[in-house]
Structure 1
């Protein structure tokens, strides 16, 4: 495990722990849960890197939905990947699940307002893009998206009801589980391979610059990304704040479980 560290520390031992020591009554950073009670996600890797702003990151980007725009090409500061879940083996190939994901499927009524613990978010914008290159940045990432048959990227932008937190969810539709796992490796900020562009809604705080944390999950041939930050990009008090905020906004990914149920007994080729 790579511990998150203070990138500004100057000590010869590699820097002090980025997150404060546990206080009385605090349980510290905990495993991220997948879809609430559906499964547990182990906290595996936290890689802290400087946020990277690419000049012209969204030049020429597709603006398929009125009132939305792509944010800057930036990397999350903290990143936690999770590889394939055995429960999703029947979705390991898109050949078993060929229907395109629709906006109504990913963002039904019960995703318009989402909550987890003290965090409540409202969906500000959503978009389904069939051009994976137009809503991502990074030559290496875009090359692998083409290599592994990315046909869709579904994105949603959330704003907390108190306007203090912003959230992004993205679902990437790849040809196979192997491809999805490679994309999750590419998304690691340490590779500087690229990332999904945030989706911003007109009139809402912009997502992108500053401290942010992203969590990627492989479920069959899909990659699910939840990405959160404080409005304005301020540093959170603890990683738990980011984890809990991300749990609130992953509701749209529930559609994957519905698709899994439609493939009884079928094994990937």
Structure 2
């Protein structure tokens, strides 16, 4: 199907951007006062990159044309996401909140999602099959594409003072004060937040392929691609 080929192309393009931007270095702004609400050992990403919405998602620019609410089953239909032939990310916790403030923290961030009329926040927590990595995917349902793009752009400097609340599980959790990386993606009127870390909290080495882990975690975005097809009535 053309839609599948397009998904692969978009994600592959994202890989190139991740590598290129990582090679340029990263910017880690100072913590805003609101970060204190989670304590000094809070789990927050040390690195964040954001991307605007590809043209593919133009049919989802307005929530009024995509009014059906998200469901847990829709977003987290896959219990496993393949990273490679041997490595998988296994879904260990999931939650869908109608109140976005239950899934996010940070005063400024909460104000922004309120202004964007956020009606849903879906979070899924994943543990890698080798017991080394933890990842969380968060999907926010906003009123329009403009709001989604503005939120992703604002997170480039805001993320250390406002971010997604981590789900917890006996099988995986983000270690407090540990190193982790994140990305934000505008997808029409949705925003996808990808968050990756090592279970021991250590910084990644050349043996840790965070790019492949990120691409695998974005498998939850298939739900958004399906909505594009539902609106356009075609796979192209």
- TM-score after normalising by structure 2: 0.82
CA positional deviation for 1:74: 4.0
CA positional deviation for 1:172: 0.5
Corresponding residue for 1:105?
Answer: 74
Long gaps (5+) in structure 1: 1-33, 59-71
Secondary structure in structure 1 of the residue aligned to 2:58: helix
Corresponding residue for 1:227?
Answer: 195
User: How does 1:133-172 map onto structure 2 within 5 Å?
Assistant: 133-172=101-140
Cα distance in structure 2, aligned partners of 1:185 and 1:259:
24
Cα distance in structure 2, aligned partners of 1:126 and 1:262:
25
Contact 2:97 2:120 in 1 (8 A): yes
Choose the corresponding residue for 1:115, options 82, 96, 104: 82
Give the structure, 1 or 2, with the largest relative contact order (CA under 8 Å, sep 6 or more). 2
Contact 2:126 2:172 in 1 (8 A): no
Corresponding residue for 1:127?
Answer: 95
Choose the corresponding residue for 2:217, options 207, 225, 249: 249
Choose the corresponding residue for 1:83, options 37, 41, 52: 52
Corresponding residue for 1:49?
Answer: 28
The Cα offsets for residues 4-32 of structure 1, whole Å up to 9 and x where unpaired, read as xxxxxxxxxxxxxxxxxxxxxxxxxxxxx
Cα distance in structure 1, aligned partners of 2:230 and 2:50:
27
Long gaps (5+) in structure 2: 1-5
Cα distance in structure 2, aligned partners of 1:146 and 1:239:
40
Corresponding residue for 2:180?
Answer: 212
Going from structure 1 to structure 2, the CA distance change for 1:137 and 1:73 (only over 3 Å counts) comes to farther
Contact 1:156 1:169 in 2 (8 A): yes
User: How does 1:187-206 map onto structure 2 within 5 Å?
Assistant: 187-189=155-157, 192-201=160-169, 203-206=170-173
Corresponding residue for 1:25?
Answer: none
CA positional deviation for 1:50: 7.5
Corresponding residue for 2:3?
Answer: none
Contact 1:129 1:152 in 2 (8 A): yes
Contact 1:148 1:174 in 2 (8 A): yes
CA positional deviation for 1:238: 3.8
Cα distance in structure 2, aligned partners of 1:89 and 1:240:
34
CA positional deviation for 1:188: 2.0
Structure number with the higher helix fraction is: 2
Cα distance in structure 2, aligned partners of 1:204 and 1:51:
31
Larger Rg: 1 or 2? 1
Corresponding residue for 1:26?
Answer: none
Cα distance in structure 1, aligned partners of 2:221 and 2:59:
17
- TM-score after normalising by structure 1: 0.73
Aligned length: 216
CA positional deviation for 1:57: 2.6
CA positional deviation for 1:78: 1.5
Going from structure 1 to structure 2, the CA distance change for 1:143 and 1:45 (only over 3 Å counts) comes to farther
CA positional deviation for 1:245: 1.2
The Cα offsets for residues 179-209 of structure 1, whole Å up to 9 and x where unpaired, read as 11111123224564411111112x1232153
